Structures are given as C-alpha cells and as structure tokens.
Amino acid sequence: MEDTFKGVVIEESLEDTSVLKDVNIVSTKVEPVTDTHKTPWVSQWTLHTIEVPRVSVKDFAERISHSLDQKHNWYADFKDDTHHYIVFRDKVFYIDRKSKEQYDEATQYGLALGIQDYQLDFSPHVKVWER
C-alpha cells in the first residue's frame, strides 16, 4: 500500500490556496477555459497534480472542503490503491474504490449541486472527460 494519495486540484476552485502548501505538488498544467469547461468566470484552469501523505489525508480533505469556492460548485479528489476521497464544499466522501454504490452516491451529490455530469468523471465506472 502506498504512503500517499494522489490527485488533481484546480487552483481556481479554491478561495484559499494556502491549503496547497501542505501537499507535494508533483506537476502543474495550465489549460485555457473553453465552453465545455462551463466555468466562464475564470480564464484558465491551473491543474496541480498533488500527493498527500496518508497520515494527513483525512485532515487535508476536511481543510480543502472548506477552501473550495463558495459561489461555484467544484470538487477535488485524490486516491490511493484502495480508497478515494471526493471532496465538495463542506462535504467529504471517503470511498472504497471497489464500491460502485459509493461512487454513485458521490456522483448524485455532485449532480444535485449542478455540476455537469461529464465533469463528475472520478468514478472508474464512467468514461473520463476528454477536455
């Protein structure tokens, strides 16, 4: 079992970017926003690939859930070989990666917030969104 959880955080999704100081940013990619992003209030997405130490992942998930933009609905996610954190504003899902039901619950939550279904591509049971 790995000692870190890995994932991507979009910097523009955060009201408080200081939360990123507590993780290892492995790489950063900037992509211009297009119509398919459905985020016209920003001009780009800055995607940070992160690693979160296992010992602090639960605390990080809680802190990032309070750092996500309150005006727009975003999520962040990070996973290891067996578990997956899917984090919305003030709501954290800790998912067994073998559980389609748990993924479905997180997907339904995101849809209820108004997030586009193709953007909720964290489940292994759906096609990954090609941006």
pLDDT of 91 reads: 96
Instruction: Judge if pTM exceeds 0.85.
Output: yes
Task: Examine residue 125 and state whether it is found in any structural domain, yes or no.
Answer: no
Identify whether the C-beta of residue 125 lies closer than 8 Å to the C-beta of residue 100. Answer: yes
Q: How many domains does the chain have?
A: 1
pLDDT, residue 120, reads: 86
Q: Can you give the residue range of the structural domain that contains 86?
A: 4-119
Any domain includes 94: yes
pLDDT digits (tens, 9 = 90+) for 71-101: 989 999 999 999 999 999 999 999 999 999 9
d(C-alpha 98, C-alpha 95), whole Å: 8
- Residue pair 56/64 in contact by the 8 Å Cβ criterion: no
Distance CA 25, CA 35 (A): 27
Q: What is the mean pLDDT of residues 49-70?
A: 95
Residue 94 is encoded by which pair of tokens? Answer: 């800790």
